[in-house]
Amino acid sequence: SQQGEEDPQALSIQEGENATMNCSYKTSINNLQWYRQNSGRGLVHLILIRSNEREKHSGRLRVTLDTSKKSSSLLITASRAADTASYFCATDIGSLIQGAQKLVFGQGTRLTINP
């Protein structure tokens, strides 16, 4: 079963509106990351939040992490047509003692921004 699950599976909003995507996971994590994928392309890293952090900002992105609820959210403010893409959360459940990471991805949210 998937470690991470995004909600909603698809989201369609008007340009300028804010977009919120949620992610839930099952096991303890080292950190949680959000990635973006444009159609037919590789994934691109957006933001990383560590297990001891609660909120992080990067430009128009805001990520929250609630380890007690095992959930995270990604907020994109003032959306643009160019933000249309699929967004994935990924949880790192690897053993840092081994010096390794194991990043497991959710199914993703398909975001469409209508001009």
Partner 1 sequence: DAGVIQSPRHEVTEMGQEVTLRCKPISGHNSLFWYRQTMMRGLELLIYFNNNVPIDDSGMPEDRFSAKMPNASFSTLKIQPSEPRDSAVYFCASSLVRRTSEKLFFGSGTQLSVL
Given the rule CB under 8 A, which residues bind partner 1?
2, 30-31, 33, 35, 41-45, 48, 50, 88, 90, 92, 94, 96, 98-108
Give whichever of 2 and 114 is closer to partner 1, judged by the CB atom: 2
CB 13, min distance to partner 1, A: 23
Give whichever of 48 and 75 is closer to partner 1, judged by the CB atom: 48
Give whichever of 10 and 96 is closer to partner 1, judged by the CB atom: 96
Instruction: Return the HEC string of 8-72.
Output: CCEEEEECCCCEEEEEEECCCCCEEEEEEECCCCCEEEEEEEECCCCEEEECCEEEEEECCCCEE
